[in-house]
Amino acid sequence: MKDFDFPTATDERLARFQSLARHHYDACSAYRNIVDRWFGPSALSGRLEELPFLPAEIFKTHALKSVPEEEVFKVMKSSGTTSQLRSQIYLDRDTARAQSKALSSIVAGVLGKKRRPMLVIDCPAQIANRATFSARGAGILGFSTFATKKFFALNDDMSINHENIQAFLDCDADQSFLFGFTAIIWQEFLSKIDAHSFKEKAGAAVLLHGGGWKKLAAQNISSQTFGARVKERLPFVQSVHDYYGMVEQTGSIFLGCDQGYLHTNPYNHIICRDQNTLEPLPEGETGVLQVMSTLPTSYPGFSILTEDLGRVIGPGETMTAGVTHASTVFEVHGRMAQAEIRGCSDTYQGR
């Protein structure tokens, strides 16, 4: 498919999603079978909530690709926390490039286009060995693109590295950022410091975090509580932004605002569905989240039913690549109990 820049109007985005559905239907026979069986071909030209979606699980059990084998240049794998099987995502150069570009224009909404010093709230071991690379390591690397100098706030034994943090604070830059995984920041960093540990920082700093609320949701810690604790312990942090993303839709992450709510942007869309009927739910009601991305052309992952529960709050406004645009505001509550959705891929297994 041809290169794509982001669509700003709603109908342009619908057209993009419809053309992606058609493209994968034509290019991937496994996807075509699923669509024919579960949705019927007429869904391909439906409204956003009528377009076909696949359960995230299916990328663990099936090799789904919409390009010839020789165009695949990278296979991304996730290690599922709840399953032994790993998702396999087939990337060609076009999709990989689109992912990088989307990520930088989304992140530019809070960091700007200029690279800045970065404090990684994790240990260097996360990116030391590519053979044992985890989702944490991949996240750190992905966001390193936005960094000039990189400092690690933790030692490999997860103790605080005061020298590195001081070096970051002393950095002569008017803009800087902190990055880490939500649960690591909470458990390994915030709990070990107090409001007097690190006070002064010249220039503005923002904190970006992501990587699942499962652990913190179990302790009843909301995104808002998290943000407030960050600002209390690190008084120089001006804004805190959560992100929500997954390996099946790398690049088109949903970025949170400083108030702790997630926003859609021109690269993605969110739909909340009833857990049992999978019918779309009205604003405010909790259900299972479906995520849509304008990016994937080499694999049919543009519309995925996650295993995460959440709710759509309502219309909002945010900024991507310097452009203010309308968004849909939502929140993620955590993982749903397994079973329910896995049924879909089990059904497909027989074919």
**Least distance (Å) from other proteins to the CB of residue 51?**
29
**Least distance (Å) from other proteins to the CB of residue 224?**
30
Quote the CA–CA distance of 21 and 8 in Å, as a whole number: 19
Instruction: Locate the DSSP E strands across 191-249.
Output: 204-210, 237-244
- Interface segment toward other proteins; rule CB under 8 A; list 60-68, 135-143, 204-212, 309-317: 135-143
Given the complex with other proteins, which of 131 and 339 has the nearer CB atom? 131
Given the complex with other proteins, which of 96 and 221 has the nearer CB atom? 96
Residue 338, both tokens: 């397994």
**Least distance (Å) from other proteins to the CB of residue 203?**
16
Given the complex with other proteins, which of 104 and 155 has the nearer CB atom? 104
**Least distance (Å) from other proteins to the CB of residue 105?**
9
In degrees and rounded to multiples of 5, residue 142 shows phi and psi of -55, -40
**Exposure string (b/e) for 38-65, b if CB count within 10 Å is 16 or more?**
ebeeebbebebeebbbbbbbbbbbbebb
Q: Which of residues 86-105 bind other proteins (CB under 8 A)?
A: 93, 97, 100-101, 104
Residues 210-229 as x/- pattern, contact with other proteins by CB under 8 A: --------------------
Decide: helix, strand or coil at residue 334. strand
Residues 103-122 as x/- pattern, contact with other proteins by CB under 8 A: -x---x----x-x-------
| Amino acid occupying residue 327 | S
Give one DSSP letter per residue of 251-262, joined into a string. T--EEE-TTS-E
How distant, in Å, are the alpha carbons of 48, 55, 133, 209, 242 from that of 312? 15, 19, 33, 21, 16
The reply to whether 77 sits near other proteins by the rule CB under 8 A is: no
Burial environment of residue 234 by CB neighbours within 10 A (0 to 12, 13 to 18, 19 or more): buried
Which H/E stretch holds residue 223? Answer: helix 223-233
Among 6, 31, 59, 146, binds other proteins (CB under 8 A): 146
The separation between CA 147 and the C-alpha centre of its own chain, rounded to angstroms, equals 19
Helices (H), 28-178: 29-34, 58-61, 93-111, 135-144, 162-169
Residue 20, both tokens: 């992606």
Among 29, 33, 79, 145, binds other proteins (CB under 8 A): 145
**Least distance (Å) from other proteins to the CB of residue 130?**
5
Among 14, 73, 80, 340, binds other proteins (CB under 8 A): 73
Decide: helix, strand or coil at residue 36. helix
Among 14, 125, 138, 221, binds other proteins (CB under 8 A): 138
Given the complex with other proteins, which of 55 and 142 has the nearer CB atom? 142
Among 38, 39, 133, 236, binds other proteins (CB under 8 A): 133
Contact residues: other proteins, CB under 8 A: 73-74, 93, 97, 100-101, 104, 108, 113, 115, 127, 130, 133, 138, 141-142, 144-146, 148
